[in-house]
Amino acid sequence: MFRFTIRDVLWLTVVAACLAAWWFDRVRLSSENNTLKNEQAKLRMAAQSAPPAQTVSGANHTLTNIDLERLCQHWYRSVEEEQPPNINQIYRPKKLKDIPPGRFRMQFIFQRNGDCQWYYLSPDDNHQFKPGRWSVDPTDKSLLRITMDDRTAIYRMTELTNDVMRLTALTSTP
């Protein structure tokens, strides 16, 4: 006949608890993964179905004029929507809460007076907003210049709606 000591029962309880915790975590991760995939599919469908605002017909699809009402808000980069052959950077407004969390997301906050804030990728993971300036190129109204620290990044804006901003980097960005 088997005899179990209290120590054996405690070990069995610990093993059972670890297995149960692992199982529940896997179920939770699977559910969260499915939710994120559904949200990503919704964002892709919204990006594909929304017609570009203020575009010029032709191959370059650039804006002829930047709408300040749409631009002046808080934008998050949505790298999940960017396709590898596509060189556009896709940004979504902060008010759109469907963007999944990430370790670092480039962000811009544009203000009407030409000031902006940009999210700094710190080497010690102490990411923070830094002040900068933005302007529209006077000769080409589709070019957006953003001065960050002592560097100026130039972007060509290809789409600007209430829900999406698409930028093509013409210079190297931080």
| pLDDT of 33 higher than 80 | yes
Single-letter amino acid, residue 64 = T
Q: pLDDT tens, 133-156?
A: 999 888 888 888 998 888 888 888
pLDDT higher than 80, residue 52 = no
Q: Across the chain, what does the average pLDDT equal?
A: 82
pTM of the model: 0.60
- Residue 50: per-residue pLDDT: 53
Contact 60, 140 (CB under 8 A): no
How many angstroms separate the CA atoms of 145 and 125, rounded?
26
Q: What is the pLDDT of residue 140?
A: 84
Q: Region 69-98: what's the mean pLDDT?
A: 83
For 14, the 3-state DSSP assignment is: helix
Confidence (pLDDT) at 56: 34
Cα-Cα-Cα-Cα torsion 81, 48, 111, 173, nearest 10 degrees, comes to: 40
Query: What would the pLDDT profile of 41-50 be if each residue is shown by its tens digit?
Result: 887 777 666 5
CA atoms within 13 A on the CB side of 20: 6
The pLDDT > 90 percentage for the chain reads 22
Contact 146, 132 (CB under 8 A): yes
DSSP result, 48-71: HHSPPTTB-SSSS--BSS--HHHH
